[in-house]
Amino acid sequence: MKKISLCFVFLLFGISHLSAQNKFEGYNIILDVPENQQAAMCTLRYAPPTTSVTISDLNAATPLKVRGCNGTLLTQTGNAATMQANAATKWCFEGEDKKYRISFRGDQSSGNVVYDWVANFDERSTGFYNIRDFGAVGDGKTDDTLAIRSALAFVSAHNGGTLSFPEGDYLVGSAPDYKPLVLPSNIVVQGVGGLQSNTFTNNVVQRSPSRITLAGTNRSIFKIGECTEKITIRDIELYARSNENTAGFEAVGAYTSAQDFYFERVSFNNFFRGIYGRGLMQTNRHWQFDYIKINHCRFIFNRDAGIWNDTLNSDWKIEGSFFVNPKRQLGQNANSMHFERAATIMIQDTYGGGFADARGGTFLSTVNTGNITVIASQTESMTNSYMLNEGGDPVVGDYSYPMTVINSLFGDPMVFKARKNFVSMGNLYGAQTFKTNQFVRIYSTGDRFCHDGYTLNCQGATREFFDKATVVFMTGQPDDFDKLKGYPTYFGTDVQFGLPVQMPSFNQNQLPTGKANGSMIYCQNCKRSTTPCQAGGTGAPAMLVNNQWSCL
């Protein structure tokens, strides 16, 4: 009986010892965005499987006890262990702790690579990860850079997933050698709320429930490069302590495109540029950064611009979003959106502006872009509502890609300094809104060029709606009572009618007065070739010449 009991005890000990072993698997992953590459170089790369990987113990209270698995070559001497990946380029080891530090030599761009690697998750939760499991504290004081960087590498090793940020303030960037957090493909960064800090709400704590705070200058929180796809960031605030050359999300590349980025309910607060995309000079900035969707986001007091982009073939949709701009002044452009280049831009149900005593910069500033469409949007208290070619580059502008504005409201100047087809439908513009050159072509349908005379008195109203532009078509507007004189429907140059034109018809004693010279009607009972028109004939077309009707 004693022998059986003793065997049973040893069996239980063996089972307990085996159950205490945690399994760790991964690759020699390099997450890095180079800027000096001379050929295609993806954000996610791998050090060769022959690279020596060092395993370090993070728990000083226990000795390092690890062993290789699944063909991984592991050598341990005292409290130091090294390993190499197996033939499948993957490494595997087992250990008693839940987390170990791994480090290895990366490539010339990345330098040494360090991660805090966690044990494999339960298969039932694989793909859904909590940043706290990687060591993030979220107290706004402890630097969580390594924990977040490690989590991003872990997610990339599992082909993507959702990385959640529970309530907390996650500080990054306090180290002088900080590098931005590089996002891999197919990741969802998920917070619990994207309300900006210090907003006027009845919350007990005036801070977003989940926030990533950037310390320092000349740096970004997140960064992506080439060969990156399918990234989502939502329900979180990105906040910078300094607006000196900082960014919340930075996209950089030269050769291989990156595409499909989605931002939902994210606040970009107090950066130099909230979202910043740029192509590198190796390919003359012709990098393709495509399919960017921004939905219900906020851009708060970003010094240069909430969104700034200079990449080729970029397709943007900004919907249901809001911009609060600081005061425009020297060294502070205070723009909502600036696009040096982009293929298409769609702005819908988006609002923003500055303050009456501290006007912001430009709501939408563009240089070389494809089609621009603005629908049901509005800005106020800005220096400009729209600016085309602020620098006055003589080669900028063309008629191939129109700008179309529909059912929107802009009271601050819309300035065009280059060729452009401008299509405007059903909008409300303030007085003296447009400042154009002679190369701008206007197609206006159903627009209002001042507020209703009974409401805001049309202060500063003028009939020179489009300054020097060539008006091709413009629908008429009746008088705004005594506040603003109406105007007729206008057809522009070289008008050709494909069918007969029917003119209004009057008797000779009812010929209208107060019309402009050149007006034409049909006189039903006039004699032909009479000036002024005389009654008693069978009818004739009539034109107002020298302020009198002349029958032709």
Instruction: Give tens-digit pLDDT for 148-204.
Output: 999 999 999 999 999 999 999 999 999 999 999 999 999 999 999 988 887 776 666
Strand ordering across the sheet containing 22-26 = 22-26, 91-95, 66-68
Instruction: Judge if 193 and 67 occupy the same domain.
Output: no
Count CA atoms within 13 Å of residue 443 on its CB side: 10
Same domain assignment for residues 115 and 223: no
Say which CATH number the domain at 225 has: 2.160.20.10
Q: What is the pLDDT of residue 495?
A: 86
User: In this structure, are residues 541 and 551 in contact, taking their beta carbons and an 8 Å threshold?
Assistant: yes
Residue linked to tokens 């190369």: 439
| Number of domains comprising the chain | 4
Rg (CA), the chain: 33
**Which candidate, 338, 401, 329, places its Cα nearest to that of 365?**
338
Q: For every residue of 145-214, which 3-state class applies, written as one string?
A: HHHHHHHHHHHHHCCCEEEECCCEEEEECCCCCCCCEECCCCEEEECCCCCCCCCCCCCCCCCCCEEEEE
297 and 164 share a domain? yes
Domain presence at residue 487? yes
Parallel, antiparallel or unpaired: strands 289-295 and 91-95? unpaired
Binning pLDDT at 50, 70 and 90, where does residue 9 land? very low
Given a cut of 50, whether residue 311 has pLDDT beyond it is: yes
The residue segments making up the domain with residue 490 are 344-350+368-494
pLDDT band (50, 70, 90) for residue 15: very low
Q: Looking at residue 219, what is its pLDDT?
A: 98
User: What's the confidence (pLDDT) of residue 11?
Assistant: 44
| 509 in the same domain as 490 | no
Percent of the chain with pLDDT over 70: 92
115 with 185, same domain?
no
Asked if the structure places residue 83 within a domain, the reply is yes
Whether 510 and 476 share a structural domain: no
More confident residue, 207 or 52: 52
Residue 177 lies in a domain: yes
Statement to judge: residues 223 and 164 lie in one domain: yes
532 preceded by a cis bond (ω within 30 of 0): yes
In this predicted structure, the answer to whether residue 5 has a pLDDT above a threshold of 60 is: no
Question: Which pTM does this prediction carry?
Answer: 0.89
Give CA–CA dist 261/253, Å, rounded. Answer: 15
**What span, in angstroms and rounded, lies between the C-alpha atoms of 129 and 238?**
20
Which pLDDT score, from 0 to 100, does residue 60 have? 85
Of the two residues 226 and 491, the one the predictor is more confident about is 226
Is residue 111 a part of any domain in this protein?
yes
Identify whether 406 is part of a domain.
yes
* The predicted structure's pLDDT at residue 61: 86
- Of the ranges 386-395, 451-460, 492-501, the best mean pLDDT one: 386-395
- pLDDT tens sequence across 496-542: 889 998 999 999 999 999 888 999 999 999 999 999 999 999 999 99
Q: Is residue 6 part of a domain?
A: no
Question: What number of other Cβ atoms are within 10 A of residue 412's Cβ?
Answer: 22
pLDDT band at residue 269, thresholds of 50, 70 and 90?
very high
- 245 and 143 inside one domain: yes
Are 226 and 169 members of one domain? yes
Is the pLDDT score of 135 beyond 50? yes
260 pLDDT band (50/70/90 cuts)?
very high
pLDDT at position 203, please? 66
Chosen domain end from 59, 87, 120: 120
Position 234 scores a pLDDT of 98
The predicted pLDDT at position 13 comes to 43
Residues 105-120 pLDDT 10s: 999 999 999 999 999 9
Q: Is a pLDDT exceeding 90 seen at residue 19?
A: no
486 and 509: one domain? no
Out of 241-245, 401-405, 482-486, 530-534, least confident range: 482-486
Taking the C-alpha atoms of residue 166 and residue 186, their distance in angstroms, rounded to an integer, is 20
| 230 closest CA partner among 292, 187, 182, 189 | 187
Cα 32 to Cα 202: distance, rounded to the nearest angstrom: 41
Amino acid at 28: N
H or E element, residue 337: strand 335-342
End position of a domain, from candidates 71, 100, 120: 120
Confidence (pLDDT) at 460: 60
Contact of 221 with 247, CB cutoff 8 Å: yes
Q: Is residue 160 part of a domain?
A: yes
* Predicted pLDDT at 487: 77
In terms of domains, do 214 and 298 share one? Answer: yes
Our CA dihedral for 370, 289, 328, 198, rounded to 10 degrees, sits at 130
Question: What is the C-alpha to C-alpha distance for residues 165 and 321, in angstroms, rounded to an integer?
Answer: 22
Amino acid at 402: P
Residue 326 falls within a domain, yes or no?
Answer: no
From 88, 120, 152, the end of a domain falls on: 120
Helix (H) or strand (E) holding 7: helix 2-19
Give me the pLDDT at residue 16, please: 44
Q: How far is CA 418 from CA 364, 394, 414, in A?
A: 15, 7, 12
Among the ranges given (66-70, 319-323, 470-474), the one the predictor scored with the smallest mean pLDDT = 470-474
Looking up tokens 């002024």, which residue turns up? 532
Round the average pLDDT of the chain to a whole number and report it. 91
Q: Is the same domain home to 142 and 42?
A: no
